[in-house]
Amino acid sequence: MKFEAGGITINTNATLPVVYVISDSVGETGEFVVRAVASQFNGGRVEIRRIPYVDDKASIVEAFDLAKDSGAFIAYTLVVPEMRAYVKEMGLKYDIPAVDLLGGLMDTFADFYKKQPHYAPGSMRQLDAEYFKKVEAIEFAVKYDDGKDPRGILRADVVLVGISRTSKTPLSMYLAHKRLKVANVPLAPEVTPPEELFMVPKKCIGLIINPEQLNEIRQERLKTLGLKRNANYAKYERILEELEFSEKVMKKIGCPIINVSNKAVEETAGTILDILNKGGNISG
């Protein structure tokens, strides 16, 4: 059986069609595009062989030699004009189709914005690094949420401490999207605070809240859980006891204290980021 794609005839009877992807980065973008197109033919069955981090002409020649030996064609994601031109030249010399996956789009961007691209190989790698750093921070926040493992306190960029329902978890996730590794530790009079908190006071941020607001929040929480609103968890006296205890712990740590009453998560997170940027302490 044979099929044609862009004037290229590929025999699918014996082996999978082969495409060499030449890239000045890891080649993920090129492979993704090739697979997306291949999905329209032959059930998407194609063998992709990446040739990554290409920054010299010798590597391009080697790629064409390999493609010639295996009856393959070339797809490439190169940003430097000289390298793109050389691939095109080699395609004509070897009589092997070479498809420029980025060039046309870059030229369109340049025409549209009336600007020239940076022609900086590996720019996507920098974006990918930021993305994976964010993912790592989110995974960290989940792993060390609610004091699950005190070892996270020493590994974190930020440690949030406070009694229940002071927005520790949503703040942790919000800051994780800012690529910060955040651990949070609940405080309660019956539980001795982890000693690790006192080892990293500059990482810690204390969270407090007005007792009246916390009372309402906890009552709603009990209602959601189908429990009685007069449970000890939501009693005003209990809340005062917890707040008094938490402030003593925070003062012992020597960390900044933020009152989260009537504040959106974004607002409190902004205050935390300001503290980190200034390296100072605030209270209130």
The domain boundary residue, chosen from 95, 121, 147: 121
Residue 12 or residue 272, greater confidence: 272
- Are 70 and 18 in a shared domain? yes
Has residue 190 been placed in a domain? Answer: yes
Has residue 7 been placed in a domain? Answer: yes
Encode pLDDT of 217-271 as tens digits: 999 989 888 888 778 999 999 999 999 999 999 999 999 999 999 999 999 999 9
Check the annotation: does 165 bind a ligand.
yes
Domain range enclosing 24: 2-121
Check the annotation: does 9 bind a ligand.
no
Check the annotation: does 224 bind a ligand.
no
With a CB cutoff of 8 Å and minimum separation 6, the contacts of 261 are 209, 210, 213
- Are 133 and 274 in a shared domain? yes
- Are 153 and 274 in a shared domain? yes
State how far the Cα of 260 lies from the Cα of 167, in Å rounded to an integer: 8
- Are 88 and 135 in a shared domain? no
- Are 262 and 199 in a shared domain? yes
- Are 70 and 179 in a shared domain? no
The domain boundary residue, chosen from 105, 121, 137: 121
Which pLDDT score, from 0 to 100, does residue 130 have? 76
- Are 69 and 171 in a shared domain? no
Give the CATH number for residue 52: 3.40.50
The domain boundary residue, chosen from 121, 154, 176: 121
Has residue 105 been placed in a domain? Answer: yes
Which pLDDT score, from 0 to 100, does residue 138 have? 94
Check the annotation: does 25 bind a ligand.
no
Is the CA virtual torsion 145, 150, 152, 155 positive or negative? positive
- Are 103 and 163 in a shared domain? no
Q: Among the listed ranges 3-12, 59-68, 94-103, 129-138, which one has the minimum average pLDDT value?
A: 3-12
Residue 197 or residue 43, greater confidence: 197
Has residue 283 been placed in a domain? Answer: no
Check the annotation: does 84 bind a ligand.
no
- Are 145 and 203 in a shared domain? yes
78, 119 Cβ separation under 8 angstroms:
no
State how far the Cα of 89 lies from the Cα of 85, in Å rounded to an integer: 6
Encode pLDDT of 142-200 as tens digits: 999 999 899 999 999 999 999 999 999 999 999 999 999 999 999 999 999 999 999 99
Number of domains in the chain: 2
91, 98 Cβ separation under 8 angstroms:
yes
Question: Is residue 7 pLDDT above 50, yes or no?
Answer: no
Check the annotation: does 229 bind a ligand.
no
284, 192 Cβ separation under 8 angstroms:
no
Q: Give the DSSP per-residue string, 95-110.
A: T--EEESSHHHHHHHH
Has residue 284 been placed in a domain? Answer: no
- Are 17 and 89 in a shared domain? yes
Q: What is the mean pLDDT of residues 49-74?
A: 94
Which pLDDT score, from 0 to 100, does residue 127 have? 54
**191 SS3 class:** coil
- Are 150 and 108 in a shared domain? no
Check the annotation: does 167 bind a ligand.
yes
Has residue 144 been placed in a domain? Answer: yes
List 49's β-bridge partners, or say none.
Answer: 20
Closest alpha carbon to 171 in 100, 254, 83, 267: 267
90, 35 Cβ separation under 8 angstroms:
no
Averaged pLDDT score across all residues of the chain: 88
Has residue 92 been placed in a domain? Answer: yes
- Are 72 and 133 in a shared domain? no
Under the banding of pLDDT at 50, 70 and 90, the label for residue 115 is confident
By CB neighbour count within 10 A (0-12 exposed, 13-18 middle, 19+ buried), where does 165 fall? Answer: buried
Q: Tell me the whole-structure pTM to 2 decimals.
A: 0.58
Check the annotation: does 172 bind a ligand.
no
